[in-house]
Amino acid sequence: MPDRLITAFLIFSSLLLTLSCNKEEPIPAWVIVPAYQVTTTPDQGTSAQKITEVYAYTTSNFLGVFPIPAKIPILETGSVQLELFPGIRANGIKSTPDIYGFFTRTKHTLDLQPGKIDTVIPVYTYDPTVNIRMVENFDSSIKWFTTQILGNPLEITPDVEFEGRAGTFTVDEAEPIFEVATPAFTDIPLNNTPIYLEMHYKTEIPFLIGLEGSSPTIPKAKQYIAGVNAKAEWNKIYFSLTDAFNLSDLESYKVIIRADLPINGSVDSARVWIDNIKLIHQ
């Protein structure tokens, strides 16, 4: 290449680089989501939830998934409708985030300008189409975990625990396995709609959640789906039961809770507390 062409090429490249460096980055508007609220009716049970993220959308864009407290950048300007969907961790696992579709999304009309900061606190409610099939808070006269299969009995605490009284049980050397079940549900939809079990708990040992299904040809089929580790403070968890129900395809199901005394001899007795258990589907 002749020297004059090389020189011209270098000048042109330098000019492009200068123009690129001088190009101003767009300034977003910012929406701060410092917290959230949940409201429920008396028949829907507790409003205490564990929403960990918001999934943010405008009419024209998916903005992303943001952990709460969230700071959301938006490059749109003027009147914009922001929609915030609540996110949870299915089965308490960080790698399984999910939109919790049983709550309605919130809509916020904002006047966005570059650099401007708005603050919104979404207030979530259960969607009117949701079926809450079981609410066990251990304060009502209606009891759900009534079939004792193994171990010491499920009891109700005499004093206030997380919210009012709670269910509690022990495993020990005399009764090392605990298992209790609900009555059978015979009309859970098996059409791949989401099915979840909400629960508050604290526990000195791991325990499991499962299903006991049956049909005319299969009198009893038991499956443990997920569990929790020991937790000294009250925690909220959302067990995803969708696959367990749909893949087994039986006619009736009981929800079961099971705990085993550790076989390594680390403890000779342990206690588990449970509360605010809800079985929910669309």
CATH class of 26-124: mainly beta
Q: Kindly tell me if the per-residue pLDDT of 265 is higher than 90.
A: no
Q: What pTM was estimated for this model as a whole?
A: 0.88
Q: What does the DSSP 8-state code read for residue 217?
A: S
* Most confident by average pLDDT, 21-25, 103-107, 137-141: 103-107
7: confidence class by pLDDT, cuts 50, 70, 90: very low
Using CA atoms in the order 32, 35, 39, 45, what is the torsion angle rounded to 10 degrees? 150
89-98, 106-115, 177-186, 270-279: the lowest-pLDDT one? 89-98
Domain ranges of the chain: 26-124, 131-281
Whole-angstrom distance, CA of residue 207 vs CA of residue 261? 10
Q: What are 132-169's pLDDT values in tens digits?
A: 999 999 998 889 999 999 999 999 999 999 999 999 99
Residue 238 near residue 196 (C-beta atoms within 8 A): yes
**What DSSP string describes 138-183?**
SSSS--S--EEEESSPPEE-SS--SSS--EEEEEESSS-EEEEEPP
| Residue 175: closest CA among 274, 258, 277, 275 | 258
Q: What are 86-98's pLDDT values in tens digits?
A: 999 999 988 888 9
CATH class of 131-281: mainly beta
Q: Kindly tell me if the per-residue pLDDT of 11 is higher than 50.
A: no
Whole-angstrom distance, CA of residue 197 vs CA of residue 203? 18
Whole-angstrom distance, CA of residue 132 vs CA of residue 276? 12
